[in-house]
């Protein structure tokens, strides 16, 4: 009996979804959420409107997925994991700044922090996006607060005080990155890193 060979399946739903998320992440970073149309995303991914809608029924559902599956992992990889792995809070923060500054100077362009960019653009316009951004900021600050607790100066601090210090570190970086983007220069980040280093040392929060 002769068997008809079935054609191999070419569909890769998870691969297509990753492709859309990667394209959306890059376009939102380069042009902003409001500056990126679904038509541009379809062109970038070579997907039809139906295929795009199958994975992401709305632009909002897409940006929420970008927050969860691209922005949050980027913050973990760039900030949270290096600080946790470092010998001390001070060493971790300095290493993060050094790595980011080196990357900006290599690319010779500053597109900003993906979390900052989307948070600034969407927080007042969309509650779910604001909550998504806030959740990532909260995870970031909690990781820093844990390292503050391990320092000489942080051992006796209250949880609230440690949280304030973590928020200050995040705010210093976020503000410096915004300045760096406006100036298209890593200089504000270098200045912020030096100031943070001295500030942490003065309070025995670096080791």
Q: Look up the CATH number of the domain holding residue 27.
A: 1.10.10.60
Full residue range of the structural domain in which residue 190 is found: 63-202
Residues 27 and 100 in one domain: no
Q: Residue 152 — pLDDT band, cuts 50, 70, 90?
A: very high
In a domain, 5, yes or no: no
Residues 67 and 44 in one domain: no
pLDDT in tens, 51-77: 888 889 999 999 999 999 999 999 999
Whole-angstrom distance, CA of residue 177 vs CA of residue 182: 9
Residues 68 and 95 in one domain: yes
* pLDDT reported for residue 2: 47
pTM over 0.75: yes
- Residue 120 tokens, joined: 């600034």
In the chain, the number of structural domains is 2
**CB atoms inside a 10 Å sphere around CB 37:** 12
Residues 127 and 171 in one domain: yes
Residues 99 and 145 in one domain: yes
């Amino acid at each position: 009996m002769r068997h008809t060979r079935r054609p191999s399946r070419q569909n890769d739903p998870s691969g297509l979804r990753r492709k859309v998320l990667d394209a959306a992440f890059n376009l939102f970073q380069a042009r902003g959420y409001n500056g990126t149309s679904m038509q541009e995303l379809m062109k970038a991914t070579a997907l039809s409107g139906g295929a795009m809608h199958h994975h992401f029924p709305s632009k909002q559902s897409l940006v929420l997925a970008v927050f969860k599956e691209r922005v949050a992992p980027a913050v973990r990889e760039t900030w949270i994991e290096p600080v946790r792995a470092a010998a001390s809070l001070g060493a971790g923060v300095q290493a993060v700044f050094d790595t980011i500054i080196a990357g900006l100077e290599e690319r010779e362009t500053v597109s900003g922090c993906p979390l900052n960019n989307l948070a600034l653009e969407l927080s007042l316009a969309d509650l779910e996006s604001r909550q998504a951004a806030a959740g990532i900021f909260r995870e970031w600050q909690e990781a820093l607060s844990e390292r503050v607790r391990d320092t000489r100066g942080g051992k006796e601090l209250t949880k609230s005080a440690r949280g304030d210090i973590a928020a200050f570190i995040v705010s210093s970086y976020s503000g410096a990155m915004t300045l760096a983007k406006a100036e298209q220069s890593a200089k504000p980040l270098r200045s912020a890193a030096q100031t943070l280093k001295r500030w942490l040392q003065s309070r025995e929060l670096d080791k």
